[in-house]
Amino acid sequence: MSLLVVGSVAFDSVKTPFGVADDVLGGSATYFSTAASYFTDVMLVAVVGEDFPEKHISFLKNRKIDVTGLQRSAGSTFRWKGEYGYDLNEAHTLETHLNVFESFKPQVPEQYKNPDVVFLANIDPVLQREVLHQIKRPDIVACDTMNFWISGKKDELIKTLAEVDILLINEGEARELAGEPNLVKAARVVQSMGPSTLIVKRGEYGALMFGSDGIFSAPAYPLESVFDPTGAGDSFAGGFMGYLDNVKNFDGASLRQAIIFGSVMASFNVEDFSLNRMKSLDYKEIESRYREFRTLTFFDDIG
């Protein structure tokens, strides 16, 4: 089993109604890798600047994440600043400094070139494709994207989607990509672009999966304290892909279980700033919350 991810490693400054965190470890590939590392071996492709401290690299290595593909370039690490109101579903971006990410050219190391599954986190769709073209075709390719690429580079995004098995995006982005307000119809449009499976992330409302197995609806875990939603989507993707790579089974039943593991990892991640909650997480807690999702959704059949 081996899982390759390409995405961002960043410093985040985040303000929520519950507190403030400045210049903490963030980035899509960071959240993804850390969540996935509870299930499988992760190979990371990303870029950081000269200011990226050794302690963060040690953290990733301690999670047994392979950082051979983490390039260090001249300049500063990608920085994002945002805030959330009481409606924690939506981030308001205050500042984005791409820095070394602006000229990022993903280089896949030789020992990464035969992965079982691949996750292309939310980066330029041209770069997503460049990663795919450097490796042997894996069992499953999943990707994320955002409104910025849907409106700004739609043609390139569509070329990438043609090579993708699973697309994970937010609800509004699914509607925008399909040009269709009804989600069930939108899913069919997106599936016609390439991905046989579409996973729609709905924040505190959970996730919907549209696949060959029909539709699967998963709730979010009802939490008493959501501290910081940053990274929830990438932690979700990490739990989802990490589990799939671990079981090496991609049938409908496994995809459904993977969605729940993704939801579990997202629910832990939002309990604290940055990756703080995942840092102290134990696999027994993950299994225990998985079972709580069963209790949360179970109802009897009719006679």
Q: Which residues bind a copy of itself (CB under 8 A)?
A: 17, 86, 181-185, 202, 205-206, 208, 214-219, 222-226, 253, 256-257, 259-260, 287, 290-291, 293-302
- For 19-64, strand residue ranges (E) read 19-26, 42-48
Q: Which of 199, 243, 233, 221 is nearest to 37 (CA)?
A: 243
Look-up: residue for tokens 């929520």? 16
Question: Which pair of tokens denotes residue 162?
Answer: 């043609």
Torsion angles phi and psi, residue 82, rounded to 5? -150, 170
- Name the minimum Å distance from CB 223 to a copy of itself: 7
Minimal distance in Å, beta carbon 162 to a copy of itself?
Answer: 25
What CA–CA distance (Å, rounded) separates 299 from 303? 13
Residue closer to a copy of itself, measured from CB, 110 or 181? 181
If you compute the radius of gyration of the chain from its CA atoms, what whole number of angstroms results? 18
Residue type present at position 282: D
How far does CA 48 lie from the centroid of its chain?
Answer: 19
The token pair at 57 is 């690299």
Residue 215, H or E segment: strand 214-218
Is the Cβ of residue 160 or residue 246 nearer to a copy of itself in the bound state?
Answer: 246
171 contacts 201 by C-beta, under 8 angstroms: yes
- Give the shortest CB-229-to-a copy of itself separation in angstroms: 13
Closest CB to a copy of itself among residues 73, 246: 246
Least spacing, CB of residue 290 vs a copy of itself, in Å: 6
Query: Minimal distance in Å, beta carbon 227 to a copy of itself?
Result: 11
Q: How far is the CB of 171 from a copy of itself (least distance, A)?
A: 10
The residue (of 154 and 291) whose beta carbon lies closer to a copy of itself is 291
Structure tokens at 163: 């090579």
Q: Give the residue with the Cβ less far from a copy of itself, 47 or 208.
A: 208
Nearer to a copy of itself, 162 or 296 (CB): 296
